[in-house]
Amino acid sequence: MEEYTVKVSVSDFAAALDLQVVVEGKGFIDLCSQNISRPGLQLTGYFEHFDRTRIQVIGMAEHEYIETLSPAAREKVCGQLFGRNIPCLIVARNLDIHKEIIDAAEKNDCPIFLSGQITTQVVNDIYAYLSRLLAHETMRHGVLMDVAGVGVLIEGDAGIGKSEIALELINRGHRLVADDCVIIRLINENLIGTAPEKIRNFMEIRGLGIINIQTMYGPGSVRQEKGIDIVVQLEKWDESKEYDRIGDVNITAKILGIEKFKLLIPVSPGRNIPTIIETAARKYRLKQIGYDAAQELLEKTLK
């Protein structure tokens, strides 16, 4: 997938990562790369293969090297670094920031931040922040539930009963992530689902109206996000269609290029769909540790 650019204000960036603004620069940062650099080689004047889109972080090693340079040498390498239009520079460990660095940043309108964290922690925090900020995302119509620790995305035509099924699962102690609209982000090759901020914790039940799940059932009935493990597709029972009765049919759903196990569940009067979904989640967990009931039955039959 192609990278895209996100514009973040200097103040928002500093607040998100608990940073002190030293130079505000142009007041915003253009971010398009999840990678981070420590410009050790660049401080020696080597800029071959330099990726200017990366956030630059200076730690103790870079700081100590800068200390060995003459003011003229510092001015030269800092001018070369900031002249390449880097997003920003972050100095870790509350280290002193040399005047030549500040002068070059101000000349090129580049933000500088200061962190009290050790360098490794700063890099980890930035990476986690960028992973979410720059994650590719899509939106799906459905309900996302945490069922026995398994992320279950329930999809189906309007009016088939997705929200009512989710409500019954909540009554059984499982947790709601999103109703009606699910935002899915691809983060580190994992599909993470959440609800749009404005409708988080709310659910629409036909004939009843809007209810707030957290207010009604307590904080333990909801969660802000959940990785998607299973996609459950609900459809009206079709007598002419052959449905899986063994559990050996392997169907997948592709979301943002990632394939997830998919269950096609027919809905008809009398079928307890919440129990089926609950059982599907537990069956998925057993499969993750290597147990397959269909395979066990097959082996017993062939003995």
State pLDDT tens for residues 162-210.
999 999 999 999 999 999 999 999 998 999 999 999 999 999 998 899 9
129 lies in the same domain as 216: no
119 lies in the same domain as 246: no
Sign of CA dihedral 269, 174, 180, 287: negative
- Asked whether residue 23 is domain-assigned, the answer is yes
pTM of the model: 0.78
- Asked whether residue 1 is domain-assigned, the answer is no
Residue 290: what pLDDT?
A: 87
Domain boundary among 133, 168, 183: 133
70 lies in the same domain as 144: no
Q: Is the model's pLDDT at 90 over the cut of 90?
A: yes
126 lies in the same domain as 144: no
217 lies in the same domain as 285: yes
Q: How far apart are CA 303 and CA 2, in angstroms?
A: 53
Domain boundary among 98, 133, 168: 133
Q: Which residues are catalytic?
A: 141, 162, 180, 245
- Asked whether residue 170 is domain-assigned, the answer is yes
Nearest of 225, 227, 229, 226 to residue 260 by alpha carbon: 229
3 state SS of 15 = helix
Domain boundary among 81, 112, 133: 133
Q: Residue 169: give the domain boundaries.
A: 136-300
The count of domains in the chain is 2
| Contact (CB, 8 A) for 201 and 214 | yes
Residue 3: what pLDDT?
A: 60
Place 297 in a pLDDT band, splitting at 50, 70 and 90: confident
155 lies in the same domain as 37: no
Q: Is the model's pLDDT at 2 over the cut of 70?
A: no
